[in-house]
Amino acid sequence: MIKVAMTSVYVDDVTKAHAFYTEVLGFETRLHMDLGGGTLFVTVGAAEGAQRDLQLLLEPGHGPIAEPYRAALREAGLPCIVFSVDDLDAEYERLRRLGVRFTHPPQDQGPVVAAVLDDTVGNFVQLTQPKE
């Protein structure tokens, strides 16, 4: 069976992204390696998850592929990634208290309730909760 092991999110600043994704969103650091020359290889994963769970690579978002891709997503108001939560209203309030800016609050979107936030490093991120 093939499973997803890692996916990337292009970010403006890996160090700032690492702080936001761990200290604000609550992910855990899985890998944090200095590759030299100011380049970091940083992955995060779900809190209390196993090391073999899906990892999110905080990828430097510069260059001829990443920049147009990120600009197009942002201009269209589209999230670069979607995360699920158990209680969207509670998570929305917790994140707002921490100063997170949302582009839209929780709202019905078919089979889920969803909200979109700005991750402070160039992306919109969607949080979803399945409807009961």
- Identify the domain containing residue 48 by its residue range: 6-130
Confidence of residue 93 (pLDDT cuts 50, 70, 90): very high
The answer to whether position 60 is within a domain reads yes
- CATH number, domain with residue 23: 3.10.180.10
Number of independent structural domains in the chain:
1
In whole angstroms, what is the distance from residue 55 CA to residue 37 CA?
A: 24
Confidence of residue 37 (pLDDT cuts 50, 70, 90): confident
Q: What is residue 3's predicted lDDT score, i.e. its pLDDT?
A: 87
Residue 49: pLDDT over 90: no
The answer to whether position 122 is within a domain reads yes
Helices (H) and strands (E) in the chain, counts: 3, 8
